[in-house]
Structure 1
């Protein structure tokens, strides 16, 4: 198996997805590429300012938030060949684009609800419908 891509965030479902993807990478010998997408403010998206993803220097992310993400990533004891990227854009587009070169994409599911889902849509639902490779949607817990 080539590369597994996993959406990484601090939600319970995001952590579960990372754990599942890490276990799958170990079993199959695949490399693992974690992507944390810093969502553009809705005002930018509504104004049509969504464009190509911008890789974000880790240092520009709030220190406490960065430490929490690093702790989640480190909790799966990442292999030296695995990577964690930070990108600013719409998570749906970034992960769908990453699926073009992946053997498998893993996303957490069920972490957005109500108004948030109505406005921005479910990332996992979008990926299930727009991925270029097989998808595993992992629920929290």
Structure 2
């Protein structure tokens, strides 16, 4: 370990995309940073539409890179505002917008031995999507630091069920969203 790493502030690096899973991970990362007295490093990784190869082939893409970077920054600020409000997280924070594939970008950012990398664990269910959770799997297998994979919020599962019902135009009884048994009167 170099002298720079020994004197550096502890960091909790978290991948942020704006998805419910990443918002859950961001909240958990903030709690971890508070517990450890560490800096919170929310990271939004982005790629040009169509990927890097498409961007290199298109002359118009060269002109759009600054705009895409700006939009990625706006998205990160928007997510941080939604989660923490105007007061911020109440701890030191350094937000980053990184151009690159999310998994490798997060692993590269959380490069110190004493960093902690926090990622959303991906969806659960009977039929997971082909690429669901690939960022967390990449981070778990390639990171040099500990990785905390945060499971999805139960709310995410309920919202996915509502979305499926809406897509199929099925009737929805709002009472189905409540998982707890109703309390009988007089108890």
Q: TM-score, length-normalised on structure 2?
A: 0.58
SS in 1 for 2:21: helix
**CA separation in 1, counterparts of 2:88 and 2:26?**
11
How many Å apart are 1:38 and its aligned residue? 1.5
Q: Deviations over 1:82-120 (max 9, x none)?
A: 1111122111111111121252100012159535x18xx
Count of aligned residue pairs for this structure pair: 132
Larger Rg: 2
Q: Which has the higher helix share?
A: 2
Q: TM-score, length-normalised on structure 1?
A: 0.74
SS in 1 for 2:79: helix
**CA separation in 2, counterparts of 1:134 and 1:108?**
14
- The counterpart of 2:142, out of the listed 130, 136, 141, is 130
My pick for the range that moved more, 35-44 or 61-70, is 61-70
Q: Aligned ranges for residues 51-130 of structure 1 at < 5 Å?
A: 60-61=70-71, 65=75, 68-75=78-85, 77-79=88-90, 81-101=92-112, 103-111=115-123, 114-115=129-130, 117=131, 122-130=134-142
Higher relative contact order (CA 8 A, sep 6+): 1
CA distance 1:114–1:88, change in 2 (3 Å): same
Q: Which has the higher strand share?
A: 1
CA distance 1:68–1:111, change in 2 (3 Å): farther
* Residue segments in structure 1 that go unaligned for 5+ positions in a row: 50-55
